[in-house]
Structure 1
Amino acid sequence: MLEIALGIIIFTFIVIALVFVIIGAKSQLVASGDVEILINDEKKIHVPVGGKLLTALADHGLFVPSACGGGGTCAQCKVKINSGGGEILPTELGHITKREAAEGERLSCQV
């Protein structure tokens, strides 16, 4: 009986320790907080980090055409990103030329 109780206690301790390791790693490695988006030098919106620009704009009443629903296949949701946004993704390469990419054009469903 003692072996079973001891096994349960040790197993529980290991699981709790792993949970704390994961929570600590997440807080250090995953971006969190809000991002400020300035639209047409007029309107500022604050959205949580990690979402798609297409969704963030729609949540604030700014609807960008997207026939594919954000799948990155129709290229109707092209927008110009002045700063931030990261590197262009492979899903965008078929829809955005090198010149457009240099000018900051991206697919809002992929940013």
Structure 2
Amino acid sequence: MSIGVFLIIILSLIGVLLFARKKLTPAGNVKLSINGDEPLEVSPGSTILSTLSNQNIFLPSACGGGGTCGMCKCQVTEGGGSILPTETGFFTRKEQQSNWRLGCQVKIRNDMKIHVPEEIMGIKKWECEVVSNRNVATFIKEFVVRLPEGETLNFHSGGYIQIDVPKVEVDFKGMEVEPQF
């Protein structure tokens, strides 16, 4: 009997969650205006970070959207709601008053206007071929990739590169690690 009651409670809670999600998340697309340009029609429910990535606008995000690095900063000028406790440690009071937010923490729920720093708009995404990947120290690797034909990378020391690795199956038994590492 107790299993049946437990099952009914769980199914009821699932029903409540689905009903609340349907009522709280708007149906259809919403408008996202970036730097005052023509608004984009996007689906609600995703974060600014992932929505911009889908539009080929890449905010830096060393933590992959976990809210721990503070790199995906953007200014939400309309429609973002209040700053979340997970964001406050990354901004001064003045920045908070100017509506700066972390793109990975703000969900797009309704029409929104944001400002992204201009240097972000020039970020490119390439598909490259790995030439080598060797250990140079215990936690340091020399990772060499071949850029697509005709592309150049103007990288300076202290710069930032984000690497997306596609899903792959690796046979770790076949890997050899040099004894000093």
Q: What TM-score do you get using the length of structure 1 for normalisation?
A: 0.73
Mapped contact 1:78–1:108 kept (Cα < 8 A): yes
1:70 and 2:75 equivalent?
Answer: no
Percent same amino acid among aligned pairs? Answer: 40
* Structure with the larger strand share: 2
**Secondary structure of the corresponding residue to residue 50 of structure 2:** helix
The number of aligned residues is 93
Q: 2:46 — aligned with what?
A: 51
Mapped contact 1:53–1:109 kept (Cα < 8 A): yes
Cα separation, 2, equivalents of 1:97 and 1:23: 36
Cα separation, 2, equivalents of 1:24 and 1:69: 27
Mapped contact 1:77–1:107 kept (Cα < 8 A): yes
Q: For each residue in 1:26-67, what CA deviation from the matched residue of structure 2 results, as whole angstroms up to 9, or x when unmatched? A: 476322232211111114212222110000000011111111
Q: 2:123 — aligned with what?
A: none
Deviation, 1:83, is 0.6
The Cα RMSD (Å) is 2.2
23-32 vs 39-48, greater mean Cα deviation: 23-32
Q: 1:90 — aligned with what?
A: 85
Instruction: Return closer, same or farther for 1:23/1:106 CA change in 2, 3 Å cut-off.
Output: closer
* Structure with the larger helix share: 1
Q: What TM-score do you get using the length of structure 2 for normalisation?
A: 0.46
Mapped contact 1:72–1:107 kept (Cα < 8 A): yes
User: Any stretches of 5+ residues in structure 1 without a counterpart?
Assistant: 1-13
What is the correspondence of 1:1-111 to structure 2 with a 5 Å cutoff?
22=16, 25-26=19-20, 29-33=23-27, 34-111=29-106
Cα separation, 1, equivalents of 2:84 and 2:17: 28
Mapped contact 1:32–1:48 kept (Cα < 8 A): no
